[in-house]
Amino acid sequence: MTLPVLNAARNVFFLVSGDSKADVLSNILFTGRMAADQYPAAMILPGESLVWYVDRPGDILEYTSDKG
């Protein structure tokens, strides 16, 4: 699917699995559009909701706490 198609959707869901994704996901979630140059997923802005299913969300929160 292309970016315009995804952005035209009402709802978009991402499934993120694995510890190796923690850095990328943290950058996307906490810097938003600033991460778009590096990660195309940061450019997804659907009409109603953008949902991230993460296998271990505590890892992301712990990661950001350590960085901050």
* Helix (H) or strand (E) run with residue 14 in it: strand 11-16
Please write the tens of the pLDDT for every residue from 34-43. Answer: 888 999 999 9
What's the pLDDT band for 6 if we cut at 50, 70, 90?
Answer: very high
Please write the tens of the pLDDT for every residue from 20-34. Answer: 888 888 888 888 778
Contact 68, 30 (CB under 8 A): no
Domain of residue 56: give its range: 3-67
Q: How many structural domains does the chain have?
A: 1
Percentage, residues of the chain above pLDDT 90: 32
User: What's the CA gap between 59 and 23, in Å, rounded?
Assistant: 10
